[in-house]
């Protein structure tokens, strides 16, 4: 799967070179290529649009550190957004129910429902030690019931017999009774499909759904139908509340448009991929692994993560050393800290995650918004190097000049200087090695990879000094 996309992305991202910062302008052409690649992969148009917009938003302003190329940095952004598009992490089946937990299989004819019923029975028996029964409610296709009987035998699942002269609802009810009496953990109900969506089929699946009260309603769909897969999924979801999707025939699909469109268009996760005709050819769907498969650049993504984390950590360590040596904490250091915070995904997110910060009253937290941080950085930028090093010389006329240079008010400059003085005091207190300890502590509390682009756990503002 995804062969075509992989090839296209490879070419696309080689194009960006020699930029020190990603800007709207220098990524424009590349984004156009990304858009084309996705459309060629048969991803639905609204999905493509949203995706490209989000990549642009996330990428603009990101700095390209020395050891990386702009293309590599952009790949990381694309990778993260691809993962998010497909739902972040694997969602398994939720079989928490009074046994038997019923799984209802829905989908068009030929999508792979019967095959997937067998695969799933095998998966649940082998991986989750479940005692599984299967039943077919497909009374329309002559050999459908026998097909399931054969598959069931192969995967050692109990087969509840049914015949074409019975009503699907009766079959399902009898099967639940039997499964309950025989203490089965799971009952998988295979259903009939049509060649296209029609009202009779929808009514039948609605009735079945109401009668069997499934814990999981899985929509089975052929990956090769591309973005149509997402559209059919949506139509089914409007009739019965789906809990997930099994995307079949992924082994034969070179484009991948279905995998990339389904989550966004239906809000439902792909839970499994069918990757062949054999009963073992079923894989839990992991958005992050699929994303790096699409890009074919898993190593680049980890390189970028590592570099960005390292650069931030280098900076933090430099500061730590400086303070330890007894050198003063000056306004340039203050500015570095503010910038790191911005990189870590902004104040609001950061504050909630840091020890102790969560307990701050909301009105205090509200004061520290990300715009504020950007403003503070602008103020420091308008100072001379001399002023940054020796903030005590910043008196009346200098304050006025700095305010107008940064497009702020004198009060803003005053406030910043006050915050800085408070932080400087705090830094002095921590001189004796308390800081290293505090940094270690904070690292331990940060979830790995938190903060996206700029944020490894090493990238924390040293000493947790906040401009407040």
- Residues 275 to 314: which contact ligand GDP by CB under 6 A? 275-277, 281
Stretch that binds ligand GDP, among 122-130, 272-280, 438-446, 450-458 (CB under 6 A): 272-280
Stretch that binds ligand GDP, among 60-68, 104-112, 169-177, 318-326 (CB under 6 A): 104-112
* Site size for ligand GDP (CB under 6 A): 19
Structural tokens at position 125: 């028996």
CA distance 447 to 444: 8
Q: Which of 70, 244, 257, 274 lies at the binding interface for ligand GDP (CB under 6 A)? A: 274
Q: Which of 193, 226, 287, 465 lies at the binding interface for ligand GDP (CB under 6 A)? A: 193
Stretch that binds ligand GDP, among 58-66, 269-277, 298-306, 454-462 (CB under 6 A): 269-277
Q: What is the DSSP string of 412-463?
A: HHHHHHHHHHHHHHHHHHTTTTHHHHHHHHHHHHSPTTTTGGG--GGGSPGG
111 interacts with ligand GDP by CB under 6 A: yes
Please, which residue, 109 or 332, has the CB nearer to Mg ion?
109
Please, which residue, 249 or 399, has the CB nearer to ligand GDP?
249
Structural tokens at position 382: 């308008």
117 interacts with Mg ion by CB under 5 A: no
Q: Which of 26, 30, 83, 114 lies at the binding interface for Mg ion (CB under 5 A)? A: 114
| Residue 276: closest CA among 466, 454, 141, 122 | 122
| Residue 298: closest CA among 76, 38, 57 | 76
Look at the alpha carbons of 426, 432, 434, 439 in this order and tell me if their dihedral is positive or negative.
positive
| Residue 43: closest CA among 228, 250, 271, 304 | 228
Identify what 75 binds: Mg ion, ligand GDP, none; CB under 5 to 8 Å per kind: none
Please, which residue, 254 or 357, has the CB nearer to ligand GDP?
254
149 interacts with ligand GDP by CB under 6 A: no
Identify what 251 binds: Mg ion, ligand GDP, none; CB under 5 to 8 Å per kind: ligand GDP
CA distance 221 to 232: 8
248 interacts with ligand GDP by CB under 6 A: yes
SS3 string of 43-103? Answer: CCHHHHHHHHHHHHHHHCCCECCCCCCHHHHHHHHHHHHHHHHHCCCCCCCCCCCCCCEEE
Identify what 292 binds: Mg ion, ligand GDP, none; CB under 5 to 8 Å per kind: none
| Cα-based distances in Å from 230 to 85, 219, 260 | 13, 10, 9
Binding site for ligand GDP (CB under 6 A): 107, 109-115, 193, 220, 248-249, 251-252, 274-277, 281
Binding site for Mg ion (CB under 5 A): 113-114, 144
């Amino acid at each position: 799967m995804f062969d075509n996309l992989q090839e296209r992305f490879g070419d696309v991202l080689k194009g960006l070179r020699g930029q020190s910062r990603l800007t709207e302008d220098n990524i424009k052409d590349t984004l156009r290529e990304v858009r084309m690649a996705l459309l060629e992969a048969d991803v639905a148009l609204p999905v493509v649009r949203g995706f490209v917009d989000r990549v642009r938003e996330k990428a603009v302003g990101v700095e390209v550190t020395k050891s990386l190329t702009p293309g590599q940095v952009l790949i990381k952004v694309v990778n993260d957004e691809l993962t998010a598009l497909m739902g972040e992490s694997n969602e398994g089946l939720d079989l928490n129910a009074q046994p038997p937990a019923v799984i209802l299989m829905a989908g068009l004819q030929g999508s792979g429902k019967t095959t997937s019923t067998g695969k799933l029975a095998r998966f649940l028996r082998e991986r989750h030690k479940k005692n599984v029964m299967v039943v077919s409610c497909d009374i329309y296709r002559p050999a459908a019931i026998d097909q399931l009987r054969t598959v069931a035998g192969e995967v050692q699942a109990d087969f509840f017999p049914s015949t074409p002269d019975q009503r699907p609802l009766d079959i399902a009810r009898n099967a639940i009774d039997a499964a309950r009496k025989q203490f089965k953990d799971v009952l998988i109900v295979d259903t009939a499909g049509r060649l296209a969506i029609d009202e009779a089929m929808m009514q039948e699946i609605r009735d079945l759904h109401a009668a069997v009260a499934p814990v999981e309603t899985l929509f089975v769909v052929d990956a090769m139908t591309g973005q149509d897969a997402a559209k059919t999924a949506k139509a089914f979801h409007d009739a019965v509340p789906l809990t997930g999707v099994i995307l079949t025939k992924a082994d034969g699909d070179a484009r991948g448009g279905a995998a990339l469109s389904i989550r966004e268009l239906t809000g439902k996760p792909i839970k499994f991929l069918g990757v062949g005709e054999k009963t073992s050819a079923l894989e839990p769907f992991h958005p992050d692994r699929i994303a790096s498969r699409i890009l074919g650049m898993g190593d680049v993504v980890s390189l970028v993560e590592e570099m960005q984390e390292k650069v931030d950590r280098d900076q933090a360590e430099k500061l730590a050393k400086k303070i330890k040596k007894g050198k003063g904490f000056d306004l340039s250091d203050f500015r570095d800290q503010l910038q790191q915070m911005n990189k870590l995904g902004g104040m609001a997110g950061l504050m909630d995650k840091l020890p102790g910060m969560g307990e701050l009253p909301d009105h205090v937290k509200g004061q520290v918004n990300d715009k504020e941080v950007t403003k503070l950085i602008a103020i420091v930028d308008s100072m001379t190097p001399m002023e940054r090093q020796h903030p005590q010389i910043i008196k009346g006329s200098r304050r006025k000049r700095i305010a107008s240079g940064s497009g702020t008010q004198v009060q803003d400059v005053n406030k910043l200087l006050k915050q800085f003085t408070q932080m400087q005091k705090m830094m002095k207190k921590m001189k004796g090695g308390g800081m290293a300890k505090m940094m270690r502590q904070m690292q331990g509390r940060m979830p790995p990879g938190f903060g996206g682009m700029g944020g490894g756990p090493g990238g924390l503002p040293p000493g947790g000094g906040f401009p407040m």
